[in-house]
Structure 1
Amino acid sequence: MKFYDSIGPNPRMVRMVMAEKGVTLPTETIDIRAGVNRSGDYIKKVPTGGTPALELDDGSIVSEITVIAEYLEELHPAPALIGTTPEQRAETRKWVRIIDLGYCETMANGFRATQGRPMFDGRFPLASKSAGEELKAIAAKKLLWLDALMSGDFVCGDRLSLADILLFCFVEFGAQVGQPVPAGATWLPAWHQRIAARPSAAA
């Protein structure tokens, strides 16, 4: 197996999953700033151009971060990041979907349409700059909504899950691109410190 890595929150999430599971793979770093992911051999392997991706020993490709995480969980079930029971897996997948669609995509699209526009313009359709600012405001509201729902050490109560890793990587990325955790959050700051203290956060 080969791991196609790059900068950005998506590859970092998979690196954290691998670190939590003690998995190491041969890695090739894709220069997305130079658009390597949008041309040549890579775009033939991964038609969306997204990073990261796994190339399996038979040459087939596993892409999309939650799919990669699910695949790695099946290969390396311990420690469980999705769950050990149907109920735990359902809970994790619920929060992963809520966080991904409600916050991660909204925040990322806001970034691409504003600060990230010089890099992404011309590569794929973008919202207008004004819509990008609205998306960033919506993402902040989504974070505060999530913050108000949480009470345990982790998104899924007392167990670390893929939902925490996804949220952590995008919260950290948001802080780097002008979208910090909004004032008024009460759960997120302590939660962030807990995840940031884990060795996998350095991945």
Structure 2
Amino acid sequence: MRLYDSIGPNPRVVRMAAAEKGISLDAVTVDIMAGANRQSDYVARNPSGNTPALELDDGSIVAEITAIAEYLEEVQPSPPIIGTTATERAQTRMWVRRIDLGYVEPMANGFRATEGRRMFAPRMKLVSEAGGAELKAIAADKLRWLDALMSGDFVCGDRFTLADILLFCFVEFGDQVGQPMPDGLVWLPAWRQRIAGRPSAAA
């Protein structure tokens, strides 16, 4: 398998998931700052132009980070990052969905419309800078919501899952692009330290 990799939180999710499962991926770095992911040779592989993309041994491509993580789980179920029972898998997917839609999307789009505007404006339609600020506020509110709900070591209680990987990679990214975790949180700071201490966090 070959991973079309780059800087940014999305590829980090896949690298971290692979590391947790002990899967070695041959990586090809795509220079997204230079727009290489928008060039015809890459778009032929992945029409969305996003990174990462996983090229399988038969030459087919799997893109989108949750789909890639699901594929890795299918081909190597242990150790699990999604779950070993129907209930565990449903719970993980529920929290991945909540984190993706409620936090990741507004946080990332808020960044693209503000600090990242110079890079992204020529490449995609963006909300206004004022709209970007509102999206940042929505993302911060979702972190407060998560913080108030969580009580165990991980998002899914005592199970480390893809939900933790997704949330961690984007919380870390947010901290780098002007969206640190809001003040007054109780659970998330200690959780972040626990995840940062895992060997896969260096992937």
Whole-angstrom distance in 2 between the partners of 1:43 and 1:123: 13
Contiguous gaps of at least 5 residues in structure 1: none
Match runs of 1:121-132 below 5 Å: 121-132=121-132
Aligned partner letter, 1:30: V
**SS class of match (2:62):** strand
Q: Which position in structure 1 is the counterpart of 2:148? A: 148
Whole-angstrom distance in 2 between the partners of 1:141 and 1:83: 28
Identity %, equivalent residues: 71
* 1:112-144 alpha-carbon deviations (Å, 9 max, x no partner): 000000111110111110000000011000100
Whole-angstrom distance in 2 between the partners of 1:55 and 1:202: 23
Give the superposition deviation at 1:59. Answer: 1.5
Aligned partner letter, 1:151: S
Whole-angstrom distance in 2 between the partners of 1:131 and 1:139: 12
Q: Which position in structure 1 is the counterpart of 2:40? A: 40
Give the superposition deviation at 1:40. Answer: 2.2
Whole-angstrom distance in 2 between the partners of 1:81 and 1:26: 21
Aligned residues: 203
Please tell me whether residue 67 in structure 1 is matched to residue 48 in structure 2.
no
Q: Which position in structure 1 is the counterpart of 2:95? A: 95
**SS class of match (1:172):** helix
**SS class of match (1:115):** coil
Give TM-score scaled by structure 2 length.
0.99
Match runs of 1:17-28 below 5 Å: 17-28=17-28
Give TM-score scaled by structure 1 length.
0.99
Q: Which position in structure 2 is the counterpart of 1:81? A: 81
Give the superposition deviation at 1:184. Answer: 1.2
Aligned partner letter, 2:157: G
Whole-angstrom distance in 2 between the partners of 1:17 and 1:81: 7
**SS class of match (1:173):** helix
Aligned partner letter, 2:184: G
Tell me the C-alpha RMSD between the 2 structures: 0.5
Whole-angstrom distance in 1 between the partners of 2:57 and 2:92: 29
Q: Which position in structure 2 is the counterpart of 1:10? A: 10
Give the superposition deviation at 1:25. Answer: 1.5
Q: Which position in structure 1 is the counterpart of 2:164? A: 164
Whole-angstrom distance in 1 between the partners of 2:199 and 2:32: 26
* 1:143-195 alpha-carbon deviations (Å, 9 max, x no partner): 00011000000000001000000000000000000100100111000000000
Contiguous gaps of at least 5 residues in structure 2: none
**SS class of match (1:28):** strand
Whole-angstrom distance in 2 between the partners of 1:7 and 1:27: 12
Q: Which position in structure 1 is the counterpart of 2:137? A: 137
**SS class of match (1:100):** helix
